[in-house]
Structure 1
Amino acid sequence: MVKRARTLASLAAELGVSRTTVSNAYNQPDQLSAELRERILRAAAERGYPGPDPMARSLRTRRAGSIGVLLTEHLSYAFEDAASVDFLAGMAEATSGTESSLTLIPAGPSEQDASALVGRAVVDGIVVYSVAEGDPHLAAARARGIPLVVCDQPKGLPLPFVGIDDREAIKPAARALLDAGHTRIGILAIRLERTRRDGHVDTRTLPTAALHVQRARVLGALEELAGVGDVPVVTRHINDHANCLSAAEELLTSHPELTAVLCTTDSMALGVLEYAAAHGIAVPEDLSVTGFDGIRTALLRGLTTVVQPNKEKGRAAGRLLLELIDAPPTGDVPREILGTTFHAGSTVSAPRARRTP
Structure 2
Amino acid sequence: MSRSRHPRRRNATLASLAAELKVSRTTVSNAYNRPDQLSPELRARVLATAKRMGYPGPDPVARSLRTRKAGAVGLLLTEALNYSFRDPAAVDFLAGLAESCDDAGQGLLMVPAGPGRDVAEAAAVVQQAGVDGFVVYSVADDDPYFRAVFDRNLPMVVCDQPLEVPGASRVGIDDRGAMRRVAEHVIGLGHRYIGVLCMRLGRARADGVVAPERLRSPHFHVQSERIAGVSDAMAAAGLDPSALTVVERFDHLVQSGASAAAEALAVDPRITALICTTDVLALGACEHAKSAGLDVPGRLSVTGFDGVERALREGLTTVRQSAELKGRRAGALLLSPGDDGPVTEILDTELLVGRTTGPAPS
Do both share a fold (TM > 0.5)? Answer: yes
Match of 2:134 among 126, 133, 136: 126
- What's the CA shift for 1:18? 2.7
Structure 1 residues 183, 29: closer, same or farther in 2, change over 3 A?
A: same
The answer as to 2:100 corresponding to 1:94 is yes
> Which residue pairs with 2:183 in the alignment?
174
Cα distance in 1 for residues equivalent to 2:42 and 2:269:
76
The answer as to 2:276 corresponding to 1:267 is no
Cα distance in 1 for residues equivalent to 2:325 and 2:50:
41
Contact 2:301–2:357 (CA<8 Å) still a contact in 1?
A: yes
Superposed counterparts of 1:66-81, under 5 Å: 66-81=72-87
Cα distance in 1 for residues equivalent to 2:23 and 2:107:
30
> Which residue pairs with 2:13 in the alignment?
7
Mark the runs of 5 or more structure 2 residues left unpaired by the alignment. 1-8
Contact 1:111–1:135 (CA<8 Å) still a contact in 2?
A: no
Instruction: Tell me which amino acid in the other structure corresponds to 2:353.
Output: A
> Which residue pairs with 2:268 in the alignment?
255
**RMSD (Å) for aligned C-alpha atoms:** 1.8
Which deviations, in whole Å up to 9, do the C-alpha atoms of 1:176-202 show, x marking residues without a partner? Answer: 111211112110000112222111012
Which deviations, in whole Å up to 9, do the C-alpha atoms of 1:115-151 show, x marking residues without a partner? Answer: 1111111111111111222222111111111111221
- What's the CA shift for 1:4? 7.1
Instruction: Tell me which amino acid in the other structure corresponds to 1:117.
Output: V
Superposed counterparts of 1:210-289, under 5 Å: 210-226=219-235, 227-229=238-240, 230-289=243-302
Match of 1:152 among 130, 153, 160: 160
Cα distance in 2 for residues equivalent to 1:68 and 1:6:
33
Contact 2:77–2:137 (CA<8 Å) still a contact in 1?
A: yes
The answer as to 2:47 corresponding to 1:41 is yes
Q: What secondary structure, in the 3-state scheme, does the structure 2 residue paired with 1:292 have?
A: coil
Instruction: Tell me which amino acid in the other structure corresponds to 2:160.
Output: D
- What's the CA shift for 1:231? 1.5
- What's the CA shift for 1:5? 5.4
- What's the CA shift for 1:98? 1.9
The answer as to 2:212 corresponding to 1:188 is no
Instruction: Tell me which amino acid in the other structure corresponds to 2:41.
Output: E
Which deviations, in whole Å up to 9, do the C-alpha atoms of 1:308-357 show, x marking residues without a partner? Answer: 12111111111111124xx7x5x45322111111111221111226xxxx
Mark the runs of 5 or more structure 1 residues left unpaired by the alignment. none
Cα distance in 2 for residues equivalent to 1:249 and 1:49:
64
> Which residue pairs with 2:144 in the alignment?
136
Which deviations, in whole Å up to 9, do the C-alpha atoms of 1:31-71 show, x marking residues without a partner? Answer: 33333222222222222222111001101110011110011
- What's the CA shift for 1:204? 4.9
Cα distance in 1 for residues equivalent to 2:264 and 2:16:
70
Instruction: Tell me which amino acid in the other structure corresponds to 1:217.
Output: R
The answer as to 2:218 corresponding to 1:209 is yes
- What's the CA shift for 1:24? 2.8
The answer as to 2:119 corresponding to 1:108 is no
Contact 1:115–1:140 (CA<8 Å) still a contact in 2?
A: yes
Contact 2:31–2:47 (CA<8 Å) still a contact in 1?
A: yes
Contact 1:191–1:236 (CA<8 Å) still a contact in 2?
A: yes
- What's the CA shift for 1:254? 2.6
Contact 1:4–1:49 (CA<8 Å) still a contact in 2?
A: no
- Residues 20-29 or 169-178, more deviating: 20-29
> Which residue pairs with 1:24 in the alignment?
30
Cα distance in 2 for residues equivalent to 1:23 and 1:249:
65
Contact 2:190–2:360 (CA<8 Å) still a contact in 1?
A: yes
What TM-score results when the alignment is normalised by the length of structure 2?
0.91
> Which residue pairs with 1:165 in the alignment?
174
- What's the CA shift for 1:283? 1.3
Cα distance in 1 for residues equivalent to 2:253 and 2:24:
56
Instruction: Tell me which amino acid in the other structure corresponds to 1:138.
Output: F
- What's the CA shift for 1:170? 1.1
Contact 1:130–1:153 (CA<8 Å) still a contact in 2?
A: yes
Contact 1:200–1:233 (CA<8 Å) still a contact in 2?
A: yes
Cα distance in 2 for residues equivalent to 1:25 and 1:180:
68
Contact 2:78–2:140 (CA<8 Å) still a contact in 1?
A: no
Which deviations, in whole Å up to 9, do the C-alpha atoms of 1:279-330 show, x marking residues without a partner? Answer: 2222112211110011111111111101112111111111111124xx7x5x
The answer as to 2:301 corresponding to 1:292 is no
Instruction: Tell me which amino acid in the other structure corresponds to 2:348.
Output: G
Structure 1 residues 111, 338: closer, same or farther in 2, change over 3 A?
A: farther
